[in-house]
Structure 1
Amino acid sequence: MWDNHKALKGLADVLLFASLLMVLYASGFWVTHAPVFPVKRIQISGHMKRVTPEQLRFIAEHELSGTFFTLDIDKTRAAFGKLPWVRDAQVRRRWPDTLDIEVDEHVALARWGENGLVSVRGEWFDAASDEALPVLSGPAGSQKEMSLMLEKFREELGVSGLKPATVWLSDRRAWRLGLDNGIRLELGRGEVESRVARFASHWKETLAALPYHIEYVDMRYPNGFAVRMPDYRAPAASGKK
């Protein structure tokens, strides 16, 4: 082999190429990991009402590590996603030293029983709020369906001036609606929107005019409804002489 000039030249070329690759790799590694390329600025945008600057600053100071090139984008997104009111965070590098973070915040629609909140997108999230919100109670995984139905109930109740306070959905798919004036509507299964609309159409002129406390209204009748009034007493029948 040592007498074969072509083989020696080929080996030399291979070694030279390998050396160049090693130099390029080392240079690239140094460039991407060198402290001369730190992230100097973090630009945060998004319409935020619940996420505070202090929370964002804490994440930036304690969770983010690496240079402009080595900072893990997915890990950074996950770090900001730990904040209770953050639904999502989009992270982008901007040359030469800036990290752009766009925060998408949850907007609460209702409470989910006693455990967390449901957003306007029908997503459950674990956060606290002192806002007066309706309460949803139903089977696991029904948050999206119930949030959509809550909006429909609000629309159907518009003419009555009443608002949903509590919405229940049973395992058998039966609906019950609690109103902000304390009245409960039994809606059952199927055609629940039309039943709420029928109640709303009779509320002001008929039900609200009754001189009794109304506990609940059963709307499961096809052409009418039944009213439970605990303090109502039927007049005694008068006998004829």
Structure 2
Amino acid sequence: MEKSLKQNASSLRSHKKVKSEQGIPGFFWEGGSALFKKQGQKLLLGLALLMIGLGLVGVKAVFDQWSYLQVNQVVLTGNLHEADPELIKKTVVGGRLMNLVNLPMDSLIEEVKQLPWVRNVEIRRLWPNSLEVNVLEQVPVARWGDDQLLNNSGEVFDGDTENQLPWFEGSQRDASQMLMEYERFTDALRPLQLSITHLKLSDRQAWTMELSNGLTVILGRTHPEALLRQWVMAYPQVIIGPVQKGERVDLRYANGLALYKE
């Protein structure tokens, strides 16, 4: 009887195993592993296609945003008289395709600063697709040499103007000093209502000037401003009548002056 019970238990376990195997189709029955592999491949392919689709959507979104931020307007500010507005805009935009995100700000500023009459420039982003370009223009106060100009900071720059300006001659290293002395000399001449038309500083640091009435004043190297102010006080007694062409006054003497007429 014990043997019979063991056989029945063994038969029951075998029956449950077969039933269990038959209850999970596609995994344990014959050919089930091949079907699983095929279904897995389809699933992976579907996931791959989904990821590609999402990637394309993302690329399109980035492209649309890039196009939206593309620079299509340049707003110029600043008090421009001589600088060319169209040339400035063309230099900023040119043929380049750029937006406010990848804007090469430093190189753009340097390019604009190289343009005629531009002393300094600031560029600011105006979202979503514009740039504000603020230009500080050169302010000429004198002609320098034969074909250059001097700005109000004592810097020499390339340019030309039809404005009536005094003519400076000297070394560029002395440009700032010449501008400062010019302002002092101009103040000293104010009582005579005369202006300087030509100012020269020699390599030996000697000053000579020509005035608006045609008179040449030789100041030399030592205390030029003080000598000029003393001469202005004595002018009514020294210069009598209209100044003749080529007339010169030499103030380099310790106890007087010399007046030359051609």
Aligned to 2:257: 225
| 1:58 has 2:90 as partner | yes
| 1:176 has 2:208 as partner | yes
Alpha-carbon deviations, 1:107-149, whole Å to 9, x = none? 0010111131000110111011111111111123111111111
Q: CA deviation at 1:35?
A: 2.8
Equivalent runs, 1:52-91 vs 2, <5 Å = 52-62=84-94, 65-91=97-123
Against the structure 1 CA distance between its residues 65 and 197, is the aligned structure 2 distance closer, same or farther, given a 3 Å change threshold? Answer: farther
Alpha-carbon deviations, 1:177-226, whole Å to 9, x = none? 111222111111121011111222222x2233257736110011223211
Is 2:156–2:172's contact at 8 Å kept on the other side of the alignment?
A: no
Separation in structure 2 between the aligned mates of residue 156 and residue 67 of structure 1, nearest angstrom: 55
Equivalent residue pairs, number? 203
Aligned to 1:135: 167
Alpha-carbon deviations, 1:13-64, whole Å to 9, x = none? xxxxxxxxxx9xx98xx57993332013322211222123333333244265
Aligned to 2:18: none
Separation in structure 2 between the aligned mates of residue 91 and residue 134 of structure 1, nearest angstrom: 34
Coordinate RMSD, CA, aligned: 2.4
| 1:145 has 2:197 as partner | no
Against the structure 1 CA distance between its residues 118 and 189, is the aligned structure 2 distance closer, same or farther, given a 3 Å change threshold? Answer: same
**Higher normalized helix content (fraction of residues):** 2
2:240 to 200, 205, 209: 209
Q: Secondary structure at the match of 1:92?
A: strand
Separation in structure 1 between the aligned mates of residue 233 and residue 186 of structure 2, nearest angstrom: 14
Against the structure 1 CA distance between its residues 69 and 176, is the aligned structure 2 distance closer, same or farther, given a 3 Å change threshold? Answer: same
Q: Which moved more, 1:58-67 or 1:131-140?
A: 58-67
Separation in structure 1 between the aligned mates of residue 149 and residue 101 of structure 2, nearest angstrom: 37
Structure with higher Rg: it is: 2
Separation in structure 2 between the aligned mates of residue 64 and residue 143 of structure 1, nearest angstrom: 39
Aligned to 1:186: 218
Identity over aligned residues, as a percent?
Answer: 29
- Taking structure 1 as the reference length, the TM-score comes to 0.76
Is 2:117–2:138's contact at 8 Å kept on the other side of the alignment?
A: yes
Aligned to 1:43: 75
Aligned to 2:194: 162
Alpha-carbon deviations, 1:137-169, whole Å to 9, x = none? 112311111111111111111011111111111
Aligned to 1:239: none
- Taking structure 2 as the reference length, the TM-score comes to 0.70
Q: Which runs of 5+ in 2 are unaligned?
A: 1-54
1:104 to 126, 130, 136: 136
Separation in structure 1 between the aligned mates of residue 210 and residue 128 of structure 2, nearest angstrom: 57
Separation in structure 2 between the aligned mates of residue 171 and residue 63 of structure 1, nearest angstrom: 48
Q: Secondary structure at the match of 2:172?
A: coil
Is 1:32–1:69's contact at 8 Å kept on the other side of the alignment?
A: no
Q: Secondary structure at the match of 1:157?
A: helix
